[in-house]
Amino acid sequence: MTDPADFSTTPTVRLRPKAEARALRHGFPWVYADELVTDRRTRALAAGTVARLEDAERRPLGIVALNPASKIIGRVLDRDPEAEIGPAWFEERLARALSLRERLFDAPFYRLVHAEADGLPGVVIDRFGDAAVIQPNAAWAEQRLDQLAAALERVTGVTVIVKNGTGRARGPEGLPEETLLLKGALDGPVPVPMNGAIYMADLLGGQKTGLFFDQRPNHAFAARLARGARVLDVFSHVGGFGLAALAAGADQALCVDGSEPALDLAARGAEAMGQAAQFTTRKGDAFAVMEALATEGATYDLVVCDPPAFAPSKQALDAGLRAYERVARLAAPLVAPGGFLVLCSCSHAADLTRFRNASARGIGRGGRRAQLLHTGFAGPDHPMLPQLAESGYLKALFFRLSP
Task: Say if residues 242 and 279 touch (Cβ distance below 8 Å).
Answer: yes
Phi, psi of 388 (to 5 degrees): -125, 100
For domain 87-183, the CATH superfamily is: RNA methyltransferase domain (HRMD) like (3.30.750.80)
| CB neighbour list of residue 23: distance below 8 Å, 6 or more residues apart | 387
Residue 255 annotated among the catalytic residues of the structure? no
Catalytic, out of 255, 305, 344, 346: 346
Measured distance CA(238)–CA(334) in Å, rounded? 22
Helix axes 260-272, 240-247, angle to 10 degrees: 10
Q: What is the pLDDT of residues 97-128, one digit of tens each?
A: 999 999 999 999 999 999 999 999 999 999 99
Residue 6: band (very low, low, confident or very high) from pLDDT cuts 50, 70, 90: very low
| CB neighbour list of residue 186: distance below 8 Å, 6 or more residues apart | 131, 160, 162, 203, 204
281: left (phi over 0), alpha (psi -120 to 50) or beta: beta
Residue 7: band (very low, low, confident or very high) from pLDDT cuts 50, 70, 90: very low
Measured distance CA(311)–CA(195) in Å, rounded? 29
Domain boundaries, given as residue ranges, for the chain: 7-78, 87-183, 196-202+210-401
7-78 topology per CATH: 2.30.130
196-202+210-401 topology per CATH: Rossmann fold (3.40.50)
Residue 4: band (very low, low, confident or very high) from pLDDT cuts 50, 70, 90: very low
Same fold for the pair 87-183 and 196-202+210-401: no
Q: How high does pLDDT run on average in the chain? A: 95
Segment 63-76 shows an average pLDDT of 95
Q: What is the pLDDT of residues 84-97, one digit of tens each?
A: 999 999 999 999 99
Q: Any idea how long the chain is?
A: 403
Segment 170-190 shows an average pLDDT of 94
| pLDDT value of residue 293 | 98
Task: Say if residues 159 and 130 touch (Cβ distance below 8 Å).
Answer: yes
Residue 203: band (very low, low, confident or very high) from pLDDT cuts 50, 70, 90: very high
